[in-house]
Amino acid sequence: MTPLDAGFFARDAVTVAKALIGARLLVEGVGGLVVETEAYDRDDPASHSFGGPTRRNASMFGPPGRAYVYRIYGAHWCLNAVCEGEPRGAVLIRALEPTDGLELMALRRGTSDARLLCSGPGRLCQALAVTGAEDGLEFDRPPFALFAAEDAPALAIGPRIGISKAADVPWRFGAAGSRFLSRPFPKAAA
DNA sequence: GTATGGATGGACT
DNA sequence: GTCCATCCATACT
C-alpha cells in the first residue's frame, strides 16, 4: 500500500475528493475504504472557509493535508481533509466500507450491521472515534493512516447532501454501486 | 420501501 | 435567537 502524504492534498478539493475514493483510511488501525466524499472548494458559499477564519474553522486556514473536524447539530462530528486553495478547500469524508477493526466499530456504534457502521459522516466519526481531539492533525501521521486506492472504482457523481447553499453543484463523489454509501446517487455509475 | 420530525449543543450574528 | 456538511425512531404507503 502506498501512503498518501501532504502532497496528495496540495490540489483543489474536487480533484482530491475524486482521488480519495477507494483510498484506505485508518484511525488507530480502525477504518476502511473511502466510498463517499464531498468537495468544498475555494469561493464555495457552502464551505466553512467561505466566511473567513473563526474559532471553529481554524484548521481550514492552515496547511493542506490536515484534518478539519467539527461538531454538527450538537451531537455529531464530521471529518474533513484540508486541501489547497485560497481560501482553503476541504473534502468531507462521508462514508467508508469497513475493513479493519469491525468489532471495535460495532461496539462504538452499538450495532453489528456493517452497513450502519460508517455510512455517513457522523457515523464514521463515531465508529473511528474521531472527535475534536483530532482536529488539525496530519493525515500522514498517527493516529491517522491513509493509503492510495489500489483499484480506482468507477465514480458516481451527484449533488451534495444536507446543504442549502450551492446545493446544485455536483461535488459529491462515490464508489459506484457500493453498498456502504450514506445515500444512493441519483443516477447510475459513470 | 419512503417520509417526517425531534434531539442536540456549539458557533456565530 | 438562529443556523446548521446529521442521525434515529416512528409512522405511514
pLDDT at A30: 98
Q: How far is C-alpha A90 from the chain's CA centre?
A: 9
Protein residues closer than 7 Å by CB to strand C: A 38, 40, 46-48, 68, 72-76, 78, 80, 90, 92, 109, 116, 120-124, 160-165, 182
pLDDT digits (tens, 9 = 90+) for A132-159: 999 999 999 999 999 999 988 999 999 9
pLDDT at A187: 65
Indicate the SS3 state at residue A31: strand
A57 Cβ within 7 A of any nucleic strand B atom: yes
Per CATH, is A6-189 categorized as 3.10.300.10? yes
Asked, as a colleague might, if the bond just before A143 is cis with ω within 30 of 0, I would say yes
pLDDT at A190: 44
pLDDT at A123: 97
User: Which grid cell sits at A69?
Assistant: 473536524
Sequence-ordered list of residues with C-beta below 8 angstroms from that of A55, at least 6 positions apart, any chain: none
**pTM of the full structure:** 0.95
Enumerate the domain spans of chain A: 6-189
pLDDT at A1: 84
Report yes or no: A87 and A76 within 8 Å, Cβ to Cβ: no
Note the CA–C1' distance, A102 to C3, in angstroms.
35
Handedness of CA A51, A35, A152, A177 (dihedral sign): negative
- Residues in chain A, pLDDT under 50: 189-190
Q: Which nucleotide is nearest to A89 (CA to C1')?
A: C5
Q: HSE on the CB side for A101, CA within 13 Å? A: 23
Indicate the SS3 state at residue A60: helix
